[in-house]
């Protein structure tokens, strides 16, 4: 099990959830045996992104404005990146670590386990949040 810096995670979680600032995502990565937030930022408004590789285990927390023209809501996603080249032991440890992370990150609309880079984009995540949110009643809905 990793050494999990819960206070750092809690601080980043609260910053992303805070509507009075522009921070809308945070990334949590392993540094050896320690797990802590390494980056906070603005989706699509910064070049400071982490693009995980196939050897990485990464958690992300993202704030998205969802809804239609009749109702806008703030929704959150917990994203778990598990690279294809991560060993079986590290995969198993990540399950235990994820439960510890979820003791701090408690409120989100959707949890996504992603291991394909093509799915690690805002459109894919937004679509998952919309599906989890239920009906859309605006003019953009289909019959």
Q: Which pLDDT score is estimated for 124?
A: 87
Structural domains present in the chain: 3-133 (3.40.20.10)
Tokens linked to 75: 């929704």
The total of other beta-carbon atoms located within 10 Å of residue 128's CB is 20
- The fraction of the chain above a pLDDT of 90, given in percent, is 21
Is 0.85 surpassed by the pTM of this model? no
Q: Which pLDDT score is estimated for 9?
A: 87
Tokens linked to 41: 């930022």
Q: Which pLDDT score is estimated for 136?
A: 57
Per-residue pLDDT at 48 exceeds 70? no
Q: Which pLDDT score is estimated for 110?
A: 94
Q: Which pLDDT score is estimated for 139?
A: 52
Average pLDDT on 128-136 reads: 75
Are 42 and 103 in contact, with CB atoms under 8 Å apart? Answer: no
Per-residue pLDDT at 46 exceeds 60? no
């Amino acid at each position: 099990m990793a050494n999990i810096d819960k206070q750092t995670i809690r601080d980043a979680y609260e910053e992303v959830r805070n509507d009075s600032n522009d921070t809308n995502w945070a990334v949590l990565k392993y540094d050896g045996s320690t797990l802590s937030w390494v980056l906070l930022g603005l989706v699509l408004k910064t070049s400071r992104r982490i693009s995980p590789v196939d050897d990485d285990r990464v958690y992300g927390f993202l704030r998205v404005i969802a809804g239609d023209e009749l109702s806008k809501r703030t929704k959150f996603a917990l994203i778990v990146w598990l690279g294809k080249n991560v060993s079986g032991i590290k995969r198993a440890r990540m399950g235990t670590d994820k439960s510890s992370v979820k003791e701090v990150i408690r409120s989100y609309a959707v949890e996504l386990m992603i291991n394909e880079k093509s799915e690690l984009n805002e459109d894919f995540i937004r679509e998952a949040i919309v599906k989890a949110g239920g009906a859309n009643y605006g003019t953009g809905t289909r019959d």
